[in-house]
Structure 1
Amino acid sequence: MVTEHPLKIYEKLDPDLLKHVENSRDFAFDDGALPRKYKLLIAMAFDASYGAVNGVKSLAQQAIDAGATKEEITEALRVAQHLSGVGCVYTAGQALKELFI
């Protein structure tokens, strides 16, 4: 199921804010000392900890597209579980079922 990008509304409401968010995203996720896929895995673990199912799903797919393996995704979620508790595992389970099943 493809859904509309959650920030699309800002194309009309506040294009300057949207551009700022996009620039910030690029600054954070572009390859550097850490490759992009690892940065995406870190962000995915944060979203799992916050209970953001759609964020986990989107970031996991982006990490896969950047070369992450299923094993790297699940290991990142192990770290999230250790730091944030089992709730993030349930969140990630909801997100990942469409990617891996």
Structure 2
Amino acid sequence: MDQSTDWHSTEPVEHKHGEYELIGDAEDPCLGMYDKPLPCFGCGIGWFSLLPGFVFPLTWYYATILYFRNYYRRDRRERAGLAASAIAAMICTVAVIITTAVLIF
């Protein structure tokens, strides 16, 4: 058996015995980018803001500000939750405007 190659290797490249090497994909350099969990208990800021927003609607507006400031470019998984919170904020704003108009007139 040849001692120059490590039998655990996934690439046909010679490795020195005892050293670790990062395994990545040459075609997709962002392969390990989404290995870390999202903030706020793993569901992301947008989805986490959506649920308490039914009690405290200001959290929807906070997520809307993050959405319009392109916070989701840091992690693409955040985009859907932030968009959902932005839509909830828009619906809340329209409901408040209609309610205010009905009460005033």
Give the structure-1-normalised TM-score.
0.29
Q: State the TM-score, normalizing by the size of structure 2.
A: 0.29
From the CA coordinates, give the structure whose radius of gyration is larger. Answer: 2
